[in-house]
Amino acid sequence: MKPVFATLRSRYGHCCLGYIDDSIYIADTVKLSEAATLNATQLITRLGFVVHPTKSIFEPTQLLEFLGFLLNSHTMTVTLTSKKVTKIVAACEHLLKQTSIIIRELASLIGTLVSTFPGVELGPLHYRTLEHDKDLALKRSNGNFDSEMSLSPPSIDDLKWWVSFLPTSYRTIDHGTPHITMTTDASQVGWEATVDGHNTQGLWDAHETTFHINILELLAIQFGLKALLDKVHDQHIRIMSDNTTAISYITSMGGCQSKDCDNIARDIWSWAIARNNWLSASYTPGKHNIIADKLSREFNMTLEWQLNPAVFDKTSYHFSKPGIDLFASRINHQLDIYVSWKPDPGASFVDAFTINWALFDNSFAFPPFCLITRCLQKVVQEQATMIIVVPMWTTQLTEHIKQNRPGNVFSTFHVSKYHQEELCVYRTLKCYLYRTATLRSSTSTRLLISYVKPHGAVTTNTLSRWIKQLLTLSGIDTSIFKAHSTRAASVSKVAAFLPVDVILKHVGWSSDCVFRKHYNKPIVDNNLFQNAVLQ
């Protein structure tokens, strides 16, 4: 019949589909459908074939039975006939009642189930456990299909699914254009996912780094969906990947070659079904997947740390177990409920500073060191209870200073060693702390203290007086230059060697206008005359 269908398509432009002696003709309107039926009938008759008058349907219809399926052009769905549903359900129930079955019976049922896929959209998710059990049984019996076998619990669950859901199952003919496109990539280091310019990424744990790249690519898809689209419902999501195996497992709703890949694909589809989402996958060449590829390989490893779990358990036992981990990720969270700084597949929240910490009886925080002061401020503002891990920094600024303002907390400074000891601030501070150690009380938190009893923290006026005394000892006219002049002198000197943005970051200025207007002073070289003579 192939020449017949080819003639109808090429000469008349009809859309037709045939299988052995059955054929169907599809058109946009009733008139076009009638014309296609008439032309097909006349051509088949002229060739000497007989068109069955009672089995054939000559009137255009939107609901038609074809090859055991009901085609509905109104709802654009394909379903099984009630007769076929009843037969398959009875076969599944028969196997469920048996404690031991013949391999041939299971193989026959598997073939029947696979034949229903054009009308059972989720059917591919619920037959591979049966296929796996059949293969194992054949190996044990040296390929004897008449040997007995038993079904595993997952296979029993799949048979129960067919009994329960087959009567209401259908397949959508066309899911339409994707609403959302997600691009993913994976490397042996980590994974990345991007949706509409929003991206997230993560590292693999020690065990995951040993997985095959196909498994990692599927995990990247799973984590990307959970991290970026977990609240998305009733959408068609297109997944773009440069791994053909991952695409195949998503498109086929699993596979038989890799049990691990099949399990991940089933989990991905379970996620989509729970949200009434549809997934499709397409290949994107690696050269077109530049952003995802780059983000899956480049990570700031210094951001992934974790308190020793044993220490965490002891701390939790002492202070009572926290209800949430505020600064964590998929690979280092201490509690099931945790907050990540980027979208994370397992996180309950994103960005700890966007939620109210007081809503939790007790929280745990091991924040980046640059956020410690901000964390303490939030605890005070919200009157929250928390276990927080912080380093013992004697030079940490715990109170507001001049540069602090909303959105910018200038809380830490670092002092490095200098090769000239007489100019080394680090050694000077270390010596100062050593010499004043016996004068400090146990509750003292200030760096500079008075050398007069009771050795309390010095005031700003005292600090100003000390600086002026030092200027005087250095031969500087303090009637012209005050204590604050040292600030302008230092930043003006360093401006000759560093970019302005680096200076602004270290001193806490928001813009360069303050620096240029008040602090950037000309440096006068008093050795110009001497240098000229020596040259």
Question: 454: cis peptide before it, omega within 30°?
Answer: yes
What percent of the residues of the chain are helix, what percent strand, and what percent coil, each to the nearest 5? Answer: 45, 15, 40
pLDDT of 532: 46
pLDDT of 419: 81
Rounded-to-integer distance, Cα 65 and Cα 80, Å: 9
pLDDT of 451: 80
pLDDT of 403: 55
pLDDT of 479: 78
pLDDT of 239: 95
pLDDT of 48: 86
pLDDT of 466: 84
Q: Give 49-76 pLDDT, tens digit per residue.
A: 888 888 888 888 889 888 889 999 999 9
Q: What is the pTM of this model?
A: 0.66
Q: Are 411 and 373 in contact (CB under 8 A)?
A: yes
Rounded-to-integer distance, Cα 206 and Cα 164, Å: 41
Count how many residues are written for the chain: 535
pLDDT of 435: 85
pLDDT of 528: 47
Calculate the CA 288 to chain-centre distance. 20
User: In the chain, which residues have pLDDT < 70?
Assistant: 286-303, 393-414, 442-444, 487-498, 500-535
pLDDT of 529: 42
pLDDT of 526: 47
